[in-house]
């Protein structure tokens, strides 16, 4: 019996660990004839050292399609697509509809393309997300750069600290790179844009795709179920030869893509009467005083730590928000930072309301906590009476005044009237 309990505890701990760690089974698609896999071994080896299970497939080695699903079960957690020119081969292995389905089902995607070729599968997939890489042959040029033969971008062009907060003066080598135009979508995460003095054109013919900082060299996308995609417009960025310049940025970029960082969760969202009485014990009614609290944790790659922020809001909604309150810190433990609204009064309107925290910040995973509760109207014997209603004071005063005046009149009449005189009587004689 002792052995069985020990075994059960071991399985339970393994399950808990699996829930707290990030996705690991990864498919790597590459084209050995275009970009040898050996050029990217530094970062691939780094993933393997972090317990990622990598499965490699040369798209020219077989003509059969890749099975990303076993019935409805995803076979991979992540897909890495290295630069390829075989657009037809890639489309045969991973059709666009299957790639979109994979991404919609919480699979993460990292794709790299070269200016010489963006496979149609990748281009159409990115276009669905509002990311538009430059056409084939268009290269980013910056003649004001210290290295005119290759594109070098400083950390000043990093756009999201949740992905990577670079050091001042840090330089990233991208070699030849293409740039993308972006739609105005909340899910798009711009990561690295082009220098102000750069432009993207085709062999200097003046037909520019982007100009200045409107071009983006590295772009992320996070969909509504928190699956992440990163597109890199340079096939040199992750190569071993550039690891001295790009290593820190590249590692953090991979961690963000595969949800090893900037992952937030909400826990222990509760609300109750201000005295601590639960809703199940005493349902809410209009104008009750209540308090709402919730905890937030962030995964730092190794463990959950408290997530500190000053822009977390709570909403009390019916159709539209009746209240939108900024939550304030109320305490923390080793894993969680707790926030509270403090005391607030429910609106003078009965119906079904949603107690909601919907935390969405570019670069962080989104998290939503909501609880739907009914707020009842006052019962017949719960309405305020007479003197409790300030508007009634005039009428009650008038009634009391009339009563006092009547009593005063009666007393005055009784006490001040003259005593009746006795009349003399006599007999009339004729």
What are the residue boundaries of the structural domains of the chain, listed by start? 2-257, 263-381, 384-415
Task: Say what the pLDDT of residue 430 is.
Answer: 61
Closest CA to 227 of 109, 65, 389, 94: 109
Task: Say what the pLDDT of residue 20 is.
Answer: 32
State the first-to-last Cα distance of the chain, in angstroms, to the nearest integer. Answer: 139
Half-sphere exposure (CA, 13 Å, Cβ side) for 365?
A: 24
321: Cβ–Cβ under 8 A, 6 or more apart, which residues?
Answer: 315
For the domain made up of 263-381, the CATH class stated in words is mainly beta
Task: Say what the pLDDT of residue 117 is.
Answer: 80
Task: Say what the pLDDT of residue 12 is.
Answer: 41
Closest CA to 158 of 99, 108, 218: 218
Name the stretches of the chain with pLDDT < 50.
1-21
Task: Say what the pLDDT of residue 134 is.
Answer: 93
The residues with which 304 forms a beta bridge, in sequence order, are 299
pTM: 0.84
Task: Say what the pLDDT of residue 146 is.
Answer: 64
For the domain made up of 2-257, the CATH class stated in words is alpha beta
Task: Say what the pLDDT of residue 420 is.
Answer: 54
427: Cβ–Cβ under 8 A, 6 or more apart, which residues?
Answer: none
Closest CA to 178 of 209, 148, 222: 209
Per residue, the 3-state secondary structure of the chain, as one string, reads CHHHHHHHHHHHHHHHHHHHCCCCEEEEEECCCCCCHHHHHHHHHHHHHCCCEEEEEECCCCCCCCCCEECCEECCCEEEECCCCCHHHHHHHCCHHHHHHHHHCCCEEEEECECCECCHHHHHHHHHCCEEECCCCEEEECCCCCCCCCEEEEHHHECCCCCCCCCCCCEEEEECECCEEECCCCCEEEEEECCCCCEEEECCCCCCCEEHHHCEEEEEEECCCCCEEEEECECCCCCHHHHHHHHHHHHHHHHHHCCCCCEEEEEEEEEEECCCCCCCCCCCECCCEEEEEEEEEEECCCCEEECCCCCCEEEEECCCEEEEEECEEEEECCCCEEEEEEEEECCCCCEEEEEEEEECCCCCCCEEEEEEEEEECCCHHHCCCHHHCHHHHHHHHHHHHHHHHHHHHHHHHHHHCCCCCCCCCCCCCC
């Amino acid at each position: 019996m002792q052995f069985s309990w020990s075994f059960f505890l071991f399985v339970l701990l393994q399950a808990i660990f699996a829930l707290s760690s990030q996705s690991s089974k990864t498919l790597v698609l590459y084209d050995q004839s275009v970009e040898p896999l050996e050029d990217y071994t530094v970062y691939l080896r780094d993933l393997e050292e972090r317990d990622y299970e990598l499965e490699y497939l040369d798209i020219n080695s077989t003509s059969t399609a890749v099975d990303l699903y076993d019935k409805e079960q995803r076979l991979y957690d992540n897909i890495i697509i290295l630069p390829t020119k075989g657009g037809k081969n890639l489309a045969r292995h991973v059709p666009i509809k299957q790639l979109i389905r994979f991404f919609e089902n919480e699979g993460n995607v990292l794709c790299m393309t070269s200016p010489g070729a963006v496979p149609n599968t990748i281009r159409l997939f990115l276009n669905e997300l509002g990311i538009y890489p430059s056409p084939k042959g268009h290269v980013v040029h910056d003649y004001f750069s210290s290295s005119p033969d290759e594109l070098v971008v400083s950390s000043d062009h990093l756009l999201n600290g949740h992905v990577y907060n670079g050091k001042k003066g840090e330089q990233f080598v991208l070699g030849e790179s293409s740039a993308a135009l972006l739609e105005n979508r909340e899910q798009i995460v711009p990561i690295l844009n082009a220098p102000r003095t750069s432009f993207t054109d085709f062999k200097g013919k003046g037909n520019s795709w982007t100009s200045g900082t409107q071009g983006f060299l590295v772009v992320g996308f996070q969909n509504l179920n928190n699956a992440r995609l990163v597109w890199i417009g340079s096939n040199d960025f992750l190569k071993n030869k550039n690891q001295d310049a790009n290593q820190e940025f590249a590692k953090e970029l991979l961690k963000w893509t595969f949800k090893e960082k900037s992952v937030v969760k909400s826990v222990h969202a509760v609300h109750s009467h201000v005295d601590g009485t639960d809703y199940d014990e005493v349902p809410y009614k209009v104008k009750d005083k209540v308090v709402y609290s919730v905890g937030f944790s962030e995964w730092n790659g190794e463990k959950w730590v408290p997530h500190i922020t000053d822009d977390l809001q709570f909403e009390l909604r019916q159709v539209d928000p009746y209240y939108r309150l900024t939550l304030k810190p109320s305490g923390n433990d080793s894993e969680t930072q707790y926030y509270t609204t403090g005391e607030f009064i429910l609106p003078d309107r009965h119906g079904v309301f949603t107690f909601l925290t919907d935390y969405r910040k570019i670069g962080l995973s989104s998290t939503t906590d909501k609880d739907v509760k009914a707020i009842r109207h006052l019962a017949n014997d719960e309405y305020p009476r007479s003197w409790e209603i300030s508007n009634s004071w005039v009428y009650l005063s008038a009634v009391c005044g009339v009563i006092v005046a009547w009593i005063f009149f009666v007393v005055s009449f009784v006490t001040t009237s003259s005593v009746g005189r006795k009349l003399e009587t006599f007999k009339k004689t004729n």
